[in-house]
Amino acid sequence: MKSKTILFIAIASILISFKCLPQDMSTLKAGDFNLDKDLLLGHFDCKTDVDDLQTAAALVTLMSDIKFSKIKYHAVAGTYGIQDGLYVPPNDLFQLAFGDNWTDAHDNFAKAVEQLKVIAKETLENQGDIWIAEAGQSDFSAELVKAIQTDLPDINISQRIHIVQHSEWNEDVTSPASLDYVKKNTDYQKIPDGNQVGNGTPGFRSSKITKWKEKISNPKLIETWQLAIDLSNRYNGKEGRYLNEAIAAGGLDFSDLSEVCWILGLQDIKDTEHFFDLYPN
């Protein structure tokens, strides 16, 4: 009996010691976002799928919740890669949703990189990390990280800049050099696809009609969602753009929000209906 007690104490001591070890920055996981220090960037390609429009509405809905209202975040439109097809103009929606808290990389890519670099450097210099929800390809992210690295060569970007991607198609239409760069130089996380339910991340694509308007109480959010849906219907499948069948059927698709949910540790959200149950605002 005495030997068993000694063994138990030894095991307990080992476990306690393990728990006290400092965090290994190479094993960051979902929910490691620091609400007080870190910066969340939403990079939207807006080409050629209209799902980014609804993801923008979902992002501002989530950021309006009291638990996340103090998060520092910024949206970027036009962060597309090498895919063919027409752009989906999001400017009216982004202005309504984000006010001055967004940047237009479609209009001027180089200027957008410079603007984002200033925002990112401020966070890094104040000991915060950068988290990029890649609602599209990684070409813009690669150029942004290179610009930051040039100005802050002592920053360990593989530990301080995190890129989260959920779509294999997005990776396929990122320029190979850009994809290779972010995978080798940042904390690059590939998570399960947000178009599917039950794979470990929320499934935010559904052909079923979601009664979102009955659940949202904030007038500005209602206006934002309505504009996102109206623009989605206007551009979905038009002039050779991708036809999003879920949206064409009257449903919703904000699948790219799965990355933000992973960053914030919200993987328990099941689907579009559940999202509005949890964040009616």
Mean pLDDT of 248-259: 98
**Token digits of residue 9:** 């104490």
Is the pLDDT score of 13 beyond 70?
Answer: no
10 — pLDDT class (breaks 50, 70, 90): very low
**pLDDT confidence of 281, banded at 50, 70, 90?**
confident
C-alpha 164/C-alpha 182 separation (Å) is 11
Query: Percent of the chain scored above 70 by pLDDT?
Result: 89
Cross-strand bridge partners of residue 98:
none
> What digits encode the pLDDT tens for the residues 198-214?
999 999 999 999 999 99
pLDDT value of position 1: 45
Q: Is the pLDDT of residue 12 over 60?
A: no
* Alpha-carbon span 243 to 247, nearest angstrom: 8
Q: How far apart are CA 77 and CA 111, in angstroms?
A: 13
- CA distance linking residue 2 with residue 100, whole number of Å: 68
Q: Which has the minimum average pLDDT: 9-18, 90-99, 157-166?
A: 9-18
- pLDDT at position 42: 98
pLDDT at 30: 52
17 — pLDDT class (breaks 50, 70, 90): very low
Q: How far is the C-alpha of 193 from the C-alpha of 190, rounded, in Å?
A: 9
Q: What is the pLDDT of residues 179-192, one digit of tens each?
A: 999 999 999 999 99
Higher pLDDT, 15 or 83: 83
Q: What is the pTM of this model?
A: 0.89
CA 222, 80, 75: angle at the middle one, nearest 5?
A: 40
